[in-house]
Amino acid sequence: MNEGEQGTEVQSLESSLKELEDIVLALEDGDLSLEESLKVFERGIYLVRRCNSLLEGAEQKIEVLTGDRPE
Amino acid sequence: MVLAPLPIVLNRVFNVSELNARIRDRLATDLRLSDLCARGELSNVVNHRSGHRYFTLKDSDSQISCVLFKNHGRRLDFELENGQNVLIFGDVSFYHIKGRVQIVVRAIQKDLGLGARHQEFEALKRKLGEEGLFDEARKRPLPLYPGRIGVVTSPNGAALRDVLKVLGSYPAKILLSPAQVQGESSPESIVLALTLLRGKADVAIVCRGGGSVEDLWPFNSEIVARAISRLDCPVISAVGHETDVTIADFVADVRAPTPSAAAEIVKPDVSGLKEDLKATERRMERSLAVILERRKNRLARLKSGVSYKAISRRLEEMHRHLDVLSERLFQSEAERIELMATRLDVAAGKLDELSPLATLTRGYAIAIDTSDNKLIRSVLDVSLEEEIDVLLTDGHLRCSVIDKNQQKRF
């Protein structure tokens, strides 16, 4: 039942990368106000750091599914 | 009857023995015809009382005679029967006495239905192919950065070790869904393992290491093929070695030659990803710099717009506006004063009417005691010889009381 919890951290690699893409596009678009730009930029840098640390500090996580028949 | 003339080039005439000897020699020197394996179906099986066994090996189109001599047949652990699929090992030989080509069999084993299995394989492949299960359009793209990688394989196999080794420290959760990858109940086990991954994985690897065709057979089963096609995430198959192809490979979204290769396909290029991140950071910085530059330019433009002329014009405007406003204010003030004056007049008129002094114009007079400026209301208020003031409408009279009389005059 805790499917949502499964791999939240790793899922955020994918979603972080996606968010990063959006941020880059928004920044390049240049439609944001200065204040928003700075905020978005800050968020982008945070995401880059986070992705890097995910890629560096990861240990192999293995979960063995039990053979119980689902439902 | 006249025979047709024989061809003239008869520089050598064989007798039959010589001919057969030549054929035999020819066959005996062809290395490809000795120590060979052949597969086919048995027919015309004869268990000769001498202990030799004679039979024909055939497939749908051809047949060849075989002999299993007593000395080689001794170790045989099953009875030869017509219709059996067998694998034989032996040499092609020429039985010159009868002019017959045959295989001298040195070993024979049941083909465990492989011939039939091959047909089964082809039939299933055709069936699923016709259903569209192998269509390119059905192939799902693999996720770029999978967070949850399902692995269906034996928990003890080399395949799993290989996969884990390749995935290494890539930050994904690996969901091992253990399956029995060979043996009788293997297909059901694989199907169950696949089903367990439903809704849990972004991509799944179905794999096992190399083995005999028999060992890999579960991956040719229909239920496994259907379970792969039904899984809600893309599936990569990696069964056996590069040369092994199974039905599972056809159904899977991607076929990998080996389990390691499957893992390589699933795993994003981490160093490339890091490069991308670096590039992304630079891009953001550049964009921000551009944004800042643009603001700076805009500010500069605005600044240049604030000239002395513009300011004095603006001031002038403001002055004019102020004039208008003050004029209006002034005007309205004058009106207000006028209004108030009118109101005052009205009020004064009313006041006049009510004033006791107004009665004086009608001939009344008011007598005031000069000593205390009080109204005199009674003859008793004054004494003889006292001076009083009598107010009339146009002035007052200073009088002296000459007489007091308490009787009313009118």
How do residues B104-113 score in pLDDT, each as one tens digit?
Answer: 999 998 887 6
Tell me if residue A15 falls in helix, strand or coil.
Answer: helix
Give B135-163 pLDDT, tens digit per residue: 999 999 999 888 899 999 999 999 999 99
Mean pLDDT, rounded, for B74-87: 87
pLDDT score, position B200: 93
For residues B261-287, average pLDDT: 89
The 8-class DSSP code of residue B407 comes to S
Residue B137's pLDDT is 93
* Contact (CB<8Å) B288/A52: no
Measure the CA–CA gap between B133 and B126, rounded to whole angstroms: 10
Task: Check B288 against A13: CB less than 8 A apart.
Answer: no
Question: Which residue in chain B has the smallest CA separation from A54?
Answer: B171
Nearest by CB: B175 against A20, A23, A65? A65
Distance CA B306, CA B137 (A): 64
Q: Helix, strand or coil for residue B66? A: strand
* pLDDT exceeds cutoff 70 at B6: no
| Whole-number pLDDT of residue B13 | 81
Banded pLDDT at B131 (limits 50, 70, 90): very high
Rounded Cα distance between A5 and A23, Å, is: 26
- Say yes or no for a CB contact (<8 Å) between A67 and B280: no
pLDDT at B38: 92
Contact A67 B178 (CB under 8 A): yes
pLDDT at position B2 over 70? no
State residue A51's pLDDT score. Answer: 84
String of DSSP letters for A21-33: HHHHHHHHHT-S-
A19 in contact with B at a CB cutoff of 8 Å? no
B146 with A17: Cβ contact below 8 A: no
- Distance between CA atoms of B211 and B243, rounded to whole angstroms? 11
The two three-digit tokens of residue B354, written as one number: 């009510």
Lowest-confidence region among B111-115, B198-202, B277-281: B111-115
State residue B360's pLDDT score. Answer: 79
Q: Provide the pLDDT for residue B114.
A: 57
Compute the 3-state secondary structure of chain A and give helix, strand, coil in percent, each to the nearest 5: 65, 5, 30
d(CA B2, CA B240): 69
pLDDT over threshold 90, residue A67: no
pLDDT at residue A7 tops 60: no
Interface of A with B in 37-66 (CB under 8 A): 37-38, 41, 44-45, 48, 51-52, 54-55, 58-66
Q: Could you tell me the CA-to-CA distances from B95 to B22, B33, B377 in Å, in that order?
A: 12, 14, 182
At residue B113, the pLDDT reads 60
Overall average pLDDT of the B253-271 stretch:
92
pLDDT of B292 reads 86
Comparing CA positions, the residue from B152, B208, B142, B217 lying closest to residue B179 is B152
Cβ B280–A44 below 8 Å, yes or no? yes
pLDDT at residue B85, rounded to an integer: 86
For a pLDDT cut of 90, what percent of chain B falls above it?
42
Residue range B305-332, pLDDT digits in tens:
666 777 788 888 888 888 888 888 777 7
Secondary structure (DSSP) of B267-304: S--HHHHHHHHHHHHHHHHHHHHHHHHHHHHHHHHHHH
Residue-level pLDDT at B46: 93
pLDDT in tens, B168-181: 878 888 999 999 99
With an 8 Å Cβ cutoff, is A25 touching chain B? no
CB atoms within 10 A of CB B243: 7
Cα separation, B376 vs B390, in Å, equals 10
pLDDT over threshold 80, residue B279:
yes
Question: In this predicted model, what pLDDT tens digit does every residue of B206-258 receive, in sequence order?
Answer: 999 988 878 898 999 999 999 999 999 999 999 988 888 899 999 999 999 99
Dihedral (CA of A26, A29, A32, A38) sign? positive
* Chain B residues whose beta carbon lies within 8 Å of the beta carbon of residue A54: 171
Give the integer Cα–Cα distance in Å for B51 and B53: 6
Give the residue numbers in B contacting A (CB under 8 Å), as ranges. Answer: 143-148, 155, 164, 167-178, 192-193, 195-200, 202, 270, 273-274, 277, 280-281, 283-285, 287-288, 290-292, 294-295
* pLDDT higher than threshold 50 for residue B79: yes
Position B90 pLDDT exceeds 50: yes
CB pairs < 8 Å spanning A and B: 118
Name the more confident of B281 and A68: B281
- CB-based contact B287 A6, cutoff 8 Å: no
Query: Pick from A6, A13, A17: which is nearest to B200 by CB?
Result: A6
> Average model confidence (pLDDT) for chain B?
87
CA distance A54 to chain B (A): 6
